[in-house]
Amino acid sequence: MSKKAKRKIILIDGIRYYADRPDTCRKCFFWKNRKVGCILGKQNCYYLAEAVMTAQEKKCEGCCYAKGQPCVSAVCYQELDVWLRATRANRIQREGAVNG
């Protein structure tokens, strides 16, 4: 049984690529020409070691409401939950000060 060799990873502009990536995209097999560019696009680069996350996906990371995909609603439920908890905490403090 042979084990699969682990590919080395490099970091370029905060994005992880496999080390066998060409120096420039122009040297890549998937580069079409100057006008078209890469036929795969930056999100689907063959040499990506991990998926590139958009700003919205980063914002939704760890959110219990975004199961496997970012929210599609106009209101972020995670921000709404934080706001509701803060509002409830302020109300409880005010009621405690009045009763105390």
User: Higher model confidence: residue 6 or residue 3?
Assistant: 6
Q: How confident is the model at residue 74 (pLDDT cuts 50, 70, 90)?
A: low
Residue 45: predicted pLDDT: 86
Q: What is the tens place of the pLDDT at every residue in 5-63? A: 677 888 877 778 888 888 888 888 888 988 888 888 877 888 888 776 677 677 777 77
Residue 15: predicted pLDDT: 79
Residue 15: strand, helix, or coil: strand
Q: Report pTM.
A: 0.45
Does the pLDDT at position 87 exceed 80? Answer: yes
* CA pseudo-torsion sign 77, 81, 87, 88: positive
Q: How confident is the model at residue 86 (pLDDT cuts 50, 70, 90)?
A: very high
Q: Contact 7/21 with Cβ under 8 angstroms?
A: no
